[in-house]
């Protein structure tokens, strides 16, 4: 025999927006659970209603955020009552657990407290959450059921990495597999970087240089030469100093550090979509509000980005230039216009992970604005052209006062000693960089030509990968390519289910990819036709 009992609660919301509704419903749910010493596993169903003036989100989603992951939750709209409380969310949770010895504690928060003066404030007498957690843990086999994470953490979608070669070999029983899925350098790391790693191996019992002194100074010199080469910088004696350079455990870490430093809870973080998933991830970790601005014909829509950035409380705008997965650029005039449009309290982060592969003269990197002291951060990485993705080292260039702020959230030894030595050697190996660049430019041209000749739409790319429209289901082609031992990326994770993204490989890898694709498409067409 099951006896269910119910908890009631209500909360008011200040604004009709998604963030506010989810947060209020989440807090209400958490408060109901905590005040009654219940965990998510004690709840069998939840009903939420909202007044008609709250239509920006379903409050039941807030119940999910509060940890009600696996029970049916329902949202419904109330019928407006004349003179009723405005912007109000009501909840009823059905409980399958022994009734507490005292009366159940219903929870009325915010202005909703007026609804039930007899019940409001009761939760204040209840045990605080921590006490409830510790007093009940151990009573059941599952000791984690009552742990409540920060709500924003539950909104993070796990990163979808390219499939590792070893996994594909194991799962499909293949011996010869190529990975053209993660934009790595097919030539491998520079031999000089490999030698530097071997030479440093005997010193790994010593902590790395937490300030990465030599690497930051080498980068400053390297970047100053680039600023000097910029036609717009000529004759202006602009340089980049080591105080303007920060290093990270991959540029991924710098993206997260920027959000941790500048995003207050609820602040907006603007980025294009589809683009690199780390921007939304970093925003969520910092409890910010992601604002994804769709591309326009596969290019970053600078006007829409500027409009989104002008809304108050937008401390960060991320743009990958060239963009991933499309490989498209924003040009110098577009970038100049955008930088002029941004409010003074907004930082523009230009992620130039693929900077070295660009040959379009319309392109400009963001260094000049950094050198001028504008609120611009340029991110670069050793993972792509330098072939050091496995070591995790990237860097950021920004005005020194911004760098000093970001340094506060840095782990003391975030870039390991082998990575620092390898990066220094790779930076000096200009031959390896030139060879890699040449290989990618030729391969990119060849693949673009070959795919276009097969009737596919190829987005013009300035990076070391191509994004193209197969005209049929990309997941099926992806699966069949795996059987052929070729790993690529599907476009569905980027919102384009008929697209694939392929990294430019060695000439023989590109040919193998094309031959496999021809076989796969012939098979798909004969099946469909």
Ligand X SMILES: *Cc1c(COP(=O)(O)O)cnc(C)c1O
Interacting residue ranges for ligand X, rule: CB under 6 A: 183, 250-252, 276, 320, 324, 351, 353, 381, 383-384, 389, 394
In the complex, least distance from residue 374 CB atom to ligand X, rounded to whole angstroms: 21
Which strand (E) or helix (H) includes residue 46?
strand 43-50
Tokens 């400009």, located at residue = 364
E strands present in 382-440 = 394-397
Rounded Cα distance between 18 and 24, Å, is 10
Q: Which is nearer to ligand X, 87 or 392 (CB)?
A: 392
In the complex, least distance from residue 1 CB atom to ligand X, rounded to whole angstroms: 56
Adjacent-strand bridge partners of 397: 245, 378
Q: Which is nearer to ligand X, 30 or 503 (CB)?
A: 503
Adjacent-strand bridge partners of 185: none
Residue nearest ligand X, CB atom distance: 250
Cα–Cα distance list, 297 to 109, 301, 326, 453 (Å): 46, 9, 10, 21
Q: What is the 3-state secondary structure (H, E, C) of 260-307?
A: HHHCCCCCEEEEEECCCCHHHHHHHHCCCEEEEEECECCECCHHHHHH
Q: Which is nearer to ligand X, 394 or 485 (CB)?
A: 394
Q: What is the token pair recorded at 242?
A: 């080591």
The answer to whether the CB of 169 falls within 8 A of the CB of 177 is yes
In the complex, least distance from residue 465 CB atom to ligand X, rounded to whole angstroms: 9
In the complex, least distance from residue 459 CB atom to ligand X, rounded to whole angstroms: 15
Q: Which is nearer to ligand X, 286 or 353 (CB)?
A: 353
427: DSSP letter? H
In the complex, least distance from residue 270 CB atom to ligand X, rounded to whole angstroms: 16
Provide the 10 A C-beta neighbour count for residue 234.
11
In the complex, least distance from residue 122 CB atom to ligand X, rounded to whole angstroms: 50
In the complex, least distance from residue 387 CB atom to ligand X, rounded to whole angstroms: 11
In the complex, least distance from residue 213 CB atom to ligand X, rounded to whole angstroms: 21
In the complex, least distance from residue 209 CB atom to ligand X, rounded to whole angstroms: 19
In the complex, least distance from residue 383 CB atom to ligand X, rounded to whole angstroms: 3
Rounded Cα distance between 119 and 36, Å, is 13
Q: Which is nearer to ligand X, 109 or 367 (CB)?
A: 367
What backbone torsions phi and psi does residue 2 show, to the nearest 5 degrees?
A: -110, 125
The answer to whether the CB of 141 falls within 8 A of the CB of 43 is no
Q: Which is nearer to ligand X, 3 or 159 (CB)?
A: 159
In the complex, least distance from residue 353 CB atom to ligand X, rounded to whole angstroms: 4
Of how many residues is the chain composed? 529
In the complex, least distance from residue 352 CB atom to ligand X, rounded to whole angstroms: 8
Rounded Cα distance between 426 and 192, Å, is 7
Q: Which is nearer to ligand X, 119 or 271 (CB)?
A: 271
Q: Which is nearer to ligand X, 354 or 369 (CB)?
A: 354
In terms of DSSP bridges, do strands 465-469 and 457-459 run parallel, antiparallel, or are they unpaired? antiparallel
Q: Which is nearer to ligand X, 12 or 183 (CB)?
A: 183
In terms of DSSP bridges, do strands 499-503 and 465-469 run parallel, antiparallel, or are they unpaired? antiparallel
CA torsion sign for 497, 503, 507, 509 is negative
115, 119, 123, 124: CA torsion to nearest 10: 90
Selection from 210, 204, 291, 198 nearest residue 247 by Cα:
210
Taking the mean position of all CA atoms in its chain, how far away is CA 131? Answer: 35
Taking the mean position of all CA atoms in its chain, how far away is CA 260? Answer: 13
Q: Which is nearer to ligand X, 252 or 334 (CB)?
A: 252
Adjacent-strand bridge partners of 45: 94
Q: Which is nearer to ligand X, 29 or 324 (CB)?
A: 324
Q: What is the token pair recorded at 119?
A: 């019940």
The answer to whether the CB of 292 falls within 8 A of the CB of 271 is yes
Q: Which is nearer to ligand X, 367 or 520 (CB)?
A: 367
In the complex, least distance from residue 257 CB atom to ligand X, rounded to whole angstroms: 12
Q: Which is nearer to ligand X, 255 or 309 (CB)?
A: 255
Rounded Cα distance between 358 and 421, Å, is 26
1: DSSP letter? -
């Amino acid at each position: 025999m099951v006896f269910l009992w119910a908890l009631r609660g209500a909360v008011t919301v200040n604004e009709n927006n998604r963030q506010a509704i989810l947060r209020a419903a989440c807090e209400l749910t958490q408060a109901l659970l905590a005040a009654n010493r219940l965990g998510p596993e004690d709840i069998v169903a939840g009903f939420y209603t909202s007044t008609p003036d709250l239509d920006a989100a379903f409050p039941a989603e807030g119940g999910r955020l509060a940890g009600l992951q696996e029970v049916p939750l329902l949202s419904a709209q109330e019928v407006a009552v004349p003179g009723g409380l405005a912007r109000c969310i009501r909840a009823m949770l059905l409980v399958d657990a022994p009734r507490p010895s005292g009366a159940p504690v219903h929870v009325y928060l915010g202005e909703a407290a007026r609804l039930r003066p007899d019940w409001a404030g009761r939760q204040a007498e209840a045990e605080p959450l921590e006490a409830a957690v510790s007093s009940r843990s151990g009573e059941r086999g599952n000791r984690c059921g009552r742990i409540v994470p920060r709500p924003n953490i539950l909104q993070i979608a796990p990163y979808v990495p390219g499939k590792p070669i070893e996994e594909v070999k194991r799962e499909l029983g293949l011996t010869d597999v190529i990975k053209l899925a993660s934009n790595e350098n097919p030539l491998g790391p520079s031999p000089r970087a490999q030698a530097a790693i071997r030479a440093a191996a005997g010193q790994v019992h010593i902590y790395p240089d937490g300030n990465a002194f030599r690497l930051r100074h080498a980068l400053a010199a390297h970047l100053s030469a680039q600023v000097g080469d910029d036609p717009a910088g000529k004759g202006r004696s602009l340089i980049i100093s080591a105080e303007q350079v920060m290093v990270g455990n991959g540029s991924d870490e710098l993206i997260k550090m920027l959000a941790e430093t500048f995003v207050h809870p609820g602040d907006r973080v603007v980025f294009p979509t589809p683009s690199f998933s780390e921007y939304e991830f970093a925003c969520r970790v910092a409890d910010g509000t992601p604002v994804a601005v769709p591309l326009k014909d596969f290019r970053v829509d600078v006007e829409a980005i500027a409009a989104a950035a002008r809304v108050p409380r937008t401390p960060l705008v991320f743009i990958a230039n060239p963009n991933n997965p499309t490989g498209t650029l924003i040009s110098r005039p577009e970038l100049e216009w955008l930088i002029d449009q941004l409010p003074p309290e907004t930082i523009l982060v230009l992620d130039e992970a693929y900077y070295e592969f660009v040959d379009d003269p319309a392109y400009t990197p963001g260094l000049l604005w950094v050198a001028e002291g504008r609120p611009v951060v340029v991110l670069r990485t050793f993972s792509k052209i330098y072939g050091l993705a496995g070591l995790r080292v990237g860097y950021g260039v920004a005005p020194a006062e911004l760098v000093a702020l970001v340094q506060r959230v840095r782990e003391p030894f975030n870039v390991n000693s082998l990575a620092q030595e390898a990066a220094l050697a790779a930076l000096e190996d200009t031959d390896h960089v030139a060879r890699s660049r040449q290989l990618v430019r030729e391969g990119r041209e060849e693949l673009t030509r070959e795919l276009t000749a097969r009737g596919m739409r190829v987005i013009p790319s300035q990076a070391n990968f191509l994004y193209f429209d197969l005209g049929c289901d990309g997941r099926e082609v992806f699966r069949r390519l795996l059987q052929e031992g070729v790993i690529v990326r599907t476009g569905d994770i980027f919102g384009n289910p008929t697209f694939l993204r392929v990294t430019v490989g060695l000439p023989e890898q590109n040919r193998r990819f094309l031959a496999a694709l021809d076989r796969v498409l012939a098979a798909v067409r004969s099946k469909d036709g």
